[in-house]
Structure 1
Amino acid sequence: MLAQYQANTQIVEMQVVSSGIGGTRWSPPQSGFIKVNFDGAVFGNLNMSGIGVVIRNNNGVVMASCAEKINQAYKVDEIKALAALKALKFAHELGFQNAILEGDSLGLIQALKAEDHNLSPLGLLVEDVKLFANNFVRLSYSHIKRSGNSVAHNLVKYAIDFQVWMEDVSSHIVSFLQSDVVDLP
């Protein structure tokens, strides 16, 4: 089983789009790819967590977005890993095969790119994301600072149960989306 997982993992293209610390502005993916931005947050005072995902094409156009409120307060690292998994599942369900998974947790992005296996609870969540990545023809990981991940970050803040928008985002998020694409060529 482990040998099969390791063999499958080698098929997926792993690369760092930004070196070291991520950029501060969202940038579109190359042609033929979609960019899947994700974020997770914990609302400890409510004993809840949230996930936000936005999928955009190389012109910055929203293909789909979703937000989910979860009735459990996870640890921050755990909810971000769960958000990454939700983002990949959402993109796969919509039929996308070439993607860049981008989030604002440098530690998570580094863990997803790493070849080692960690059996801690967080490590097992990371392994789940890596395993699901095998459903894509090409997949890259990218880190971006929170300021460049504002659409996904704000989707989390306004999450109510589970919501999906096709070719759109929540009306609360439009201003963040517009600021991302205002200077695109």
Structure 2
Amino acid sequence: MENNLTQPVQAAEHVLSLCKAFNDVQATIARDLHKFSTWQAPPDGFLKVNVDGSIFANLRKAGVGIVLRDTSGGIVMAASKNELEVDEAVTIEFIVVLRGLQPCLPLGIPNLIIESDCLNVVQELQSTKDLYASAGNFIK
């Protein structure tokens, strides 16, 4: 390439070096991912509700799922629900937070942690700024 000639041995060494670097990065990512993706029980006196949503665009439907767990990881309650006419991922993620709260509020759970895998939703819910987008109504 561009009149640069690389000897086969040098090319092989370079490829092996790249392969080793790739494998090292993959191992680090896998280790870090496991550390961050492992479910952690809530502290004593708390319950945790894990929420997630998904969109089935071809059916014009979406689904939400919630799991409420205690400090030992035992399932207190689990539920799922179909949602109609939701076509934005962020919207279903806001809806699933709302659906996660709905059964918990009447039970009078004093200490509740909500856990979502949608960083945008988490940041918006933690923000003190008003949101004027379509999801602003969910936040309010």
TM-score in terms of structure 1 length: 0.55
What residue is the counterpart of 1:40 in the other structure?
53
Number of paired residues? 106
SS in 2 for 1:110: helix
Other-structure match for 2:116: 103
Q: In the TM superposition, what is the alpha-carbon distance from 1:27 to its structure 2 partner?
A: 0.5
Structure 2 residue 76 is the aligned partner of structure 1 residue 77: no
Q: Which residue of 1 aligns with 2:37?
A: 24
C-alpha root-mean-square deviation of aligned residues, in Å? 1.4
Q: How many percent identity over aligned positions?
A: 28
Gaps of 5+ in 2: 1-34
Runs (4 or more) in structure 1 with deviation over 6 Å come to none
Tell me: higher relative CO, structure 1 or 2? Use CA pairs within 8 A at least 6 residues apart: 1
The separation in 2 between residues aligned to 1:75 and 1:63, in whole angstroms, is 30
Q: Deviation per CA, 1:112-171, whole angstroms, max 9, x where unpaired?
A: 0000011211122222xxxxxxxxxxxxxxxxxxxxxxxxxxxxxxxxxxxxxxxxxxxx
- Residue 52 of structure 1 aligns to a residue in which SS? strand
Match of 1:63 in 2: 76
Q: What whole-Å deviation, never above 9, does each CA across 1:76-100 have from its counterpart, x for those lacking one?
A: 0001001001101121123312110
Instruction: Return the offset for 1:104.
Output: 0.1
TM-score (norm 2): 0.72
Which residue does 1:125 correspond to in 2? 138
